[in-house]
Homo-oligomer: A and B are copies of this chain.
């Protein structure tokens, strides 16, 4: 294998595939990046066996030559060194040549590196997924749906299935749900194009979705999504992102969501968020970062917390509307702040069914997103 490549193209592709490379893998070859050169261009692959990422640099694109292939072939180079080296090379062009015994020469300007490579035949094959049943979604919508749900996955391995986001497809609508059993985030959106496979409920590891969000740029270009029994593939023009799926049945969360309410508050999200944030300055030093909300007759709610031996904080926030029963309820400030940030909404509605029951936070005029929080007993 021998080729010359534009350094910036190589750095971008390396940064993408590095998202899948883990230094803590038990499979030594996966500490490497696989580099393959064909006459069409250069493909880089990184994998930690849960996530696999393939990034393609075309030899030519819109009349610009990115790669000059002198000899096709492939090699695996240690990701840690290769990724740092390519970033610090002195010139715009990099020459890469595999010599005897997988030894690989990387030359740019007067700098010459020789890295001991690994046999590319030992690198695992990526899943073979036919894209017959691909549906499409704008990339920015996919990123938003992930951002609005993935923070609510469980970080505990007690119930592994809860560390992922449940994707269900019903009536050409994609419904994303995440819960750690203390709170729940749900977001849905119609699927406008493509063909949906007969697999209509999967659980995607939260980590995979977070890494995917880091790689994808904010555009409204479409991304292809293919779901199989145990894998999901996200595919753009030059990128393949594979993630394994989590096994096990995702719990039916629909019955968690209350339908009758005793107290409803409509409030400006920003004012409410800032008051919670300030109360959290003291609450986060205590047990579980818990703040208390109290409704008042004068159309306001009070956020308060007391931290023994330090002090207390109280703040009244005016409501746009406050109807129903009087209420005192305690909840995690962190969960509330996560939910409010995910809603992306100016005005929100909070619907309570009593101090001991889960409550809902929603935008005022938008049914496509919902956040649910379980209160904390403080008596």
Chain A contacts to B: CB under 8 angstroms: 78, 81, 84-85, 88-90, 103-104, 110-116, 274-275, 277-278, 281-282, 285, 309-317
A291 to chain B, nearest CB (A): 13
A35 to chain B, nearest CB (A): 15
Q: How far is the CA of A317 from the CA of B110 in the complex (A)?
A: 8
Can you list 8 A-B pairs with a CB-CB distance of less than 8 A? Answer: A78-B310, A81-B282, A88-B281, A110-B317, A111-B278, A111-B315, A113-B282, A116-B310
Q: How far is the CA of A275 from the CA of B108 in the complex (A)?
A: 12
Check if B114 sits within 8 Å of A84, measured CB to CB: no
Q: B113, B281, B312: which contacts A313 (Cβ < 8 A)?
A: B113
Q: How far is the CA of A90 from the CA of B278 in the complex (A)?
A: 9
Q: B78, B85, B111, B311: which contacts A81 (Cβ < 8 A)?
A: B311
A237 to chain B, nearest CB (A): 32
A274 surroundings in chain B (CB, below 8 A): 88, 90
Check if A112 sits within 8 Å of B281, measured CB to CB: no
Q: B88, B103, B112, B311: which contacts A113 (Cβ < 8 A)?
A: B311
Identical subunits present = 2
Check if A311 sits within 8 Å of B115, measured CB to CB: yes
Check if B313 sits within 8 Å of A111, measured CB to CB: yes
A315 surroundings in chain B (CB, below 8 A): 110-112
Q: Which residue of B lies closest to A103 (CB)?
A: B311
Q: How far is the CA of A314 from the CA of B111 in the complex (A)?
A: 6
Q: How far is the CA of A81 from the CA of B313 in the complex (A)?
A: 11
Q: How far is the CA of A311 from the CA of B78 in the complex (A)?
A: 10
Q: How far is the CA of A286 from the CA of B315 in the complex (A)?
A: 56
Check if A85 sits within 8 Å of B281, measured CB to CB: yes
Q: How far is the CA of A18 from the CA of B314 in the complex (A)?
A: 25
A283 to chain B, nearest CB (A): 11
A282 surroundings in chain B (CB, below 8 A): 81, 113
A115 surroundings in chain B (CB, below 8 A): 310-311
Q: Which residue of B lies closest to A281 (CB)?
A: B84
Extra contacts, 14 of them, besides A113-B278, A113-B312 (Cβ < 8 A), are A81-B281, A81-B285, A81-B311, A85-B278, A85-B281, A88-B277, A110-B316, A111-B278, A111-B313, A112-B313, A114-B313, A115-B310, A115-B311, A116-B310
A261 to chain B, nearest CB (A): 26
Q: How far is the CA of A326 from the CA of B296 in the complex (A)?
A: 86
Q: How far is the CA of A281 from the CA of B313 in the complex (A)?
A: 51
A314 surroundings in chain B (CB, below 8 A): 112
Check if A311 sits within 8 Å of B114, measured CB to CB: yes
Known contacts A88-B278, A111-B278, A278-B88; is A116 also within 8 Å of B309 by CB?
Answer: yes
Q: How far is the CA of A311 from the CA of B102 in the complex (A)?
A: 11
Check if A311 sits within 8 Å of B116, measured CB to CB: yes
Q: How far is the CA of A63 from the CA of B65 in the complex (A)?
A: 64
Check if B312 sits within 8 Å of A114, measured CB to CB: yes
Q: How far is the CA of A309 from the CA of B309 in the complex (A)?
A: 57
Q: How far is the CA of A88 from the CA of B89 in the complex (A)?
A: 44
A310 surroundings in chain B (CB, below 8 A): 78, 81, 115-116
A11 to chain B, nearest CB (A): 14
